[in-house]
Structure 1
Amino acid sequence: MSILKRLAILVLAVLLLPAAPAVAHGPAPGSLADPNLHFAGRWDTGDPGTYVGNWGAPYVTATFTGSTLTARVRDTVSLYVSIDGGADTLHENVRGAVDLTPARLRPGVHTVRLSYRTGDVPSCATWPAPCATFQGFVLGRGERTLPRRNPRTLVEFVGDSITVGALSSRNSLTSYAWQTGERLGADRTNIARSGACLVDIPGTCFGIGANYRKQAIAGTVDWDFSRYRADAVVINLGTNDAGRGVSGADFQAAYERLLREVRAAHPSAHVFALETLRRRYVAETQAAVRAVADPRVHWVSTEGWLAEADYVDGGHPTDAGHAKIAERLAPVVAGHLGLRLAGAPTDPNLTFTGRWDTSDPATYRANWAGSYLTTRYSGATAALLLRGTIDVWVSVDGGPDQLLAGVSGRVGLPSPPSARPWHTLRVAYRNVDGSYRGDAAFQGLALEPGARTAPWTSRRLIEFVGDSITRGSTSSMTTLTSYGWLAGERLGARHTHIAYGGGCLISAADGCAGMRERYFRSGFAADSPPWDFSRYHADAVVINLGTNDLSHRVPAADFQAGYVRFLRDVRAVHPRAKILVLGTFAGRYLPETEAAVALVNDPRTSFVDTTGWLPPEGLTDRVHPNDLGHRLIADRLTPLL
């Protein structure tokens, strides 16, 4: 046989050999070893063929391609599955291969979240033995999973049956813990058990304090906290301890130990100790928070969060009750974590006009007169979240201000006058001074699911400085019917009112509060912190002071000298503002006021003679304007501004 024939036979033989099997690169998509699967909760991964989720509502998420998806579970269990962020679908008492897409998906990229209904007898025959078993996803031929785009915030919830969501329609998935996580766009773990106490009482009450570090309920294996680090931990314990006779001292000591244990497990987390909804061990919980002296451990009051109608049995919240708790809690957590949450006090689309105390990111407090907030929001309904009782005026879509008197808690806003998708909102707080002691505290704006906010405000800002006249005392709506408010509204400008009933320009020996000093503080109290003027710069400042100084026998020379110093100090904090110095409507200290303006020699500071602005029919008494009087003053002042 020739060499050429032999070579041809050899080549043909090689071509007819069976193809070598393809070499797999990496784990199979959807398998337990697939790094693109994300497990939330305390999962036992000791068996590489079956992962077991422990405690409440463990879940797994993934992003995948294709139109079909199957989950494999070892034990009979009930699952909740959400595809592409849609509603959770219940797959009850299933095992083996579970078809998650009976209606095929459109080809493309999809997301899945598979969670377990754990902690209740119907779904776990041997509860509390683990039953949340997972053996992976099965994708269509040639499909794959994708990496998570961005890391998510993680919030851990620690508690009893309330945190579990017992007696709500879907247990953990309708619990405040789950709903808070959803509002925050955060992952969550639920370290809770029905009937749990904080203090462990062998044979009587399961103690979270003694079991917090365990991988499973009543387990013996410690959890490896290096597997996740929470950004926030929310603790709600004490409801069951009271019924088991735990003393206040023992409860407080146990709470301190748990707080320190949580800090050790999650070194950088913000920790929130919730007041129990039925006010059990309130003082002891607060004392425990103080004792650990940790600036990232916070006491959270739940006063007014729920009403009796929000409970199933007097102790466990309804679905609506859990939603109300989540409405309140999410802004608290978001504020401390710096998360952007629509409607939260820290939402940058909310504009707070006036001198607001924003030191607590969960609760902003209005100071001085006429402080208000504005925003735009989508959706047909919204509600204010207030801490304590207060009077507020609300205007929706530019409509008349409606008084909501003596309201607290969750307060529904008036219905918008139209069905358009976006609405404007202004909420003005009643002045907390004189004999009125309301709680001018804002804790958020509750919006419909999926609703958003948007900025709505003018860039121009006018500041009005004065006493009870500028405050609007004796007019029908106090500051909202004052000349300053009216002038600001006519000009479409924002307006602040640094005014105090009975205030003088100069502090008097008989106790009259001097606005020359108080003006530079966050509130009218003498010990109020200094105001940070970098937070706003006025375009115009209108000053009307001197009416009360004469009654308190302030010498004319002292008044004039004090006014000169005050005008120079105002110029220092508002370097570009036009300053209008009004002569008092009662004609008091007019020469001294005009002379003070001349002495500062500032081309952007002007004296305004108000003689004749306020006729007798514009007064409620000999000093204070009525509604007509304030309108007449605004008629004169607005063109000047």
Structure 2
Amino acid sequence: MLQKTLLALGMLSMPMLSAYAQQVVRPSSPSIKAQGRVDTTNPERYRFDYPGVRFTMQFSGSSSIAAKLKGSAQTYFEAFVDGKPALDPSGRQAIYRSFGDTTIVIASKLAKNQPHEVILFKRTENLDNTPAEFMGFVVDDKASCSPAHYKARRIEFLGNSITCAFGTESKDIHSTFTAETENNYLSYANVLSRAFDADANIVAHSGRGVVRNYGDKSMVSTKEATVPKLFGRVLDSDSTSRWDFKRYQPDAVVVNLGTNDYSTWPQPLKSLFIDGYLKLIAKIRAAYGSQTQIFCIVGPMIDEPCYSYVKEMVEMQRNTNNDSHIHFIGIPKSILALDKDYGASGHPGGDGQKKMAQIVAPVISTVMGWSYSRTEMDDIKGGQGFYSREK
């Protein structure tokens, strides 16, 4: 397993850019593929705060690749070159955060006569209401750049801390959550996306529910946005932002909600919860049409009555609203082993996320008629996360 190093950046980080003259490929360049909900209002500075947002570019003729970005104390990134994690000079997998405008050197000493692909990936959710900003990639002046290919398949995921991958790289169930241990790349959502060779959009925030957020003293939350309200936003942290649904029309939508509605008291009345969920389904249908397949997941952090309520909601949508393109998937708590499948605060660790994907993938495969690779989800490590937590 790879060890990982945190590079807290206020200056150019090692490794260094090449000695050649440099060019900046702006975020609005057709050579860059932006995946996820991104505010493109300013073509020089793209803003984003949902987990799993990534920027991809193919290039050749450059001995180094860097990214220009701005983050915050609780915004973490990682990068990949040619499908492999970017490393620091000591050979550890590097994760990054930035407190101001920063140039992150992702890789150097690359073969200039070979094509390469770079991915800059946002590991964390919106933890401090500070959108990150991406200002482009930096390559050698005479490098040739081209866009990565968009996938033929598209999936959107709506969820809470499980979909965010809250504490996925924590040591065990007793660990205290830190932003550094949240790695959306390891979430079941991204495991499934890679297995199906699909592009993914993720709209998720820890603690949020359908009608009630975690710990709210009321049955219905009004102070903080629930996920149905986040669904219409391009930025989680900006209630006035509006997402243009025409920018991303998924083939399938996966919804994993209800855990926060029913994990603490007072629990919402069944009628309130089902009505709120049906309204969310109506929003999805209005945005993506009647033929998009919707998969409603429950688990593995919650049990009854949430299981029965979501299943009943799905049956109501199928029978009363004549919607045959909605499906229920229950993930039991028993799939997670206490000693190896949990991360911080009882959330699924890396192996737990893969076990979730193992249950969900066959259902999506059957309904969509999609084949999938089992490599991503079958590689169980016998411990938390994908990378070693050794420092």
Normalising by structure 1, we get a TM-score of: 0.46
1:69 Cα deviation after fit: 1.2
Matching residue within 232, 243, 251 for 2:252: 232
Matched position secondary structure for 2:51: strand
Q: Distance in 2 between matches of 1:184 and 1:40?
A: 16
Q: Distance in 2 between matches of 1:321 and 1:181?
A: 16
Q: Check 1:174–1:50 CA distance in 2 against 1; reply closer, same or farther (3 A cut).
A: same
Matching residue within 241, 256, 262 for 2:278: 256
1:221 Cα deviation after fit: 1.9
Structure 1 unaligned spans of 5+: 1-27, 122-126, 344-378, 380-444, 450-641
Q: Distance in 2 between matches of 1:62 and 1:337?
A: 29
Matching residue within 245, 270, 279 for 2:303: 279
- Bigger relative CO (Cα 8 Å, ≥ 6 apart): 2
CA contact (8 A) 1:65 1:108 kept: yes
Give identity over the alignment, percent.
26
Q: Distance in 2 between matches of 1:216 and 1:183?
A: 27
Provide Cα deviations, 1:234-281, integer angstroms capped at 9, x if missing partner.
Answer: 111111111242111111111111112112212232110012222241
Alignment of 1:450-461 (within 5 A): none
Matched position secondary structure for 1:57: coil
Matching residue within 194, 198, 202 for 1:186: 198
Asked whether 1:338 is paired with 2:369, we answer: yes
1:314 Cα deviation after fit: 6.5
Instruction: Give the partner amino acid of 1:155.
Output: I
Instruction: Give the partner amino acid of 2:50.
Output: W
Matched position secondary structure for 2:189: helix
> 1:68 aligns to what?
64
CA contact (8 A) 2:34 2:55 kept: yes
Asked whether 1:290 is paired with 2:296, we answer: no
Provide Cα deviations, 1:479-534, integer angstroms capped at 9, x if missing partner.
Answer: xxxxxxxxxxxxxxxxxxxxxxxxxxxxxxxxxxxxxxxxxxxxxxxxxxxxxxxx
Q: Larger Cα Rg: Structure 1 or Structure 2?
A: 1
Q: Distance in 2 between matches of 1:56 and 1:212?
A: 14
Matched position secondary structure for 2:283: helix
Alignment of 1:71-86 (within 5 A): 71-76=67-72, 77-86=75-84
Alignment of 1:74-153 (within 5 A): 74-76=70-72, 77-87=75-85, 89-94=93-98, 95-119=101-125, 121=127, 127-130=128-131, 132-149=132-149, 151-153=151-153
Instruction: Give the partner amino acid of 1:305.
Output: I
Q: Distance in 1 between matches of 2:195 and 2:292?
A: 19
Q: Distance in 1 between matches of 2:362 and 2:117?
A: 27
CA contact (8 A) 1:195 1:206 kept: no
Q: Distance in 2 between matches of 1:78 and 1:263?
A: 33
Asked whether 1:299 is paired with 2:303, we answer: no
Q: Distance in 2 between matches of 1:245 and 1:116?
A: 33
CA contact (8 A) 1:53 1:59 kept: no
Matched position secondary structure for 2:156: strand
CA contact (8 A) 1:198 1:208 kept: yes
1:38 Cα deviation after fit: 1.0
1:117 Cα deviation after fit: 2.8
Q: Check 1:195–1:265 CA distance in 2 against 1; reply closer, same or farther (3 A cut).
A: same
1:102 Cα deviation after fit: 3.3
Instruction: Give the partner amino acid of 2:303.
Output: R
Q: Check 1:204–1:189 CA distance in 2 against 1; reply closer, same or farther (3 A cut).
A: same
> 2:18 aligns to what?
none
Q: Check 1:113–1:446 CA distance in 2 against 1; reply closer, same or farther (3 A cut).
A: closer
> 1:154 aligns to what?
154
Q: Distance in 1 between matches of 2:360 and 2:109?
A: 37
CA contact (8 A) 1:80 1:117 kept: yes
> 1:270 aligns to what?
293
Q: Distance in 1 between matches of 2:38 and 2:348?
A: 28
1:56 Cα deviation after fit: 1.6
Q: Check 1:61–1:177 CA distance in 2 against 1; reply closer, same or farther (3 A cut).
A: same
Q: CA RMSD in A?
A: 2.5
CA contact (8 A) 1:78 1:90 kept: no
CA contact (8 A) 2:365 2:371 kept: yes
CA contact (8 A) 1:57 1:190 kept: yes
> 2:384 aligns to what?
none
Alignment of 1:38-49 (within 5 A): 38-49=33-44
Q: Distance in 2 between matches of 1:149 and 1:182?
A: 14
Asked whether 1:173 is paired with 2:185, we answer: yes
Matching residue within 322, 333, 343 for 2:353: 322
CA contact (8 A) 2:70 2:133 kept: yes
Aligned residue-pair number: 316
Matched position secondary structure for 1:136: strand
Instruction: Give the partner amino acid of 1:110.
Output: H
Matching residue within 211, 216, 228 for 1:209: 228
Matched position secondary structure for 1:43: coil
Instruction: Give the partner amino acid of 2:347.
Output: H
Q: Check 1:334–1:106 CA distance in 2 against 1; reply closer, same or farther (3 A cut).
A: farther
Q: Distance in 2 between matches of 1:313 and 1:204?
A: 26
Q: Distance in 2 between matches of 1:29 and 1:252?
A: 50
Matching residue within 197, 204, 211 for 1:199: 211
Provide Cα deviations, 1:185-228, integer angstroms capped at 9, x if missing partner.
Answer: 22212211011111154466541122211112152122100011
Normalising by structure 2, we get a TM-score of: 0.74
Q: Distance in 2 between matches of 1:197 and 1:250?
A: 12
Q: Check 1:101–1:342 CA distance in 2 against 1; reply closer, same or farther (3 A cut).
A: closer
Q: Check 1:342–1:137 CA distance in 2 against 1; reply closer, same or farther (3 A cut).
A: closer
1:59 Cα deviation after fit: 0.7
Matched position secondary structure for 2:335: coil
Matched position secondary structure for 1:182: helix
Alignment of 1:8-27 (within 5 A): none
Structure 2 unaligned spans of 5+: 1-22, 87-92, 170-181, 213-219, 381-391
Alignment of 1:444-483 (within 5 A): 447-448=378-379
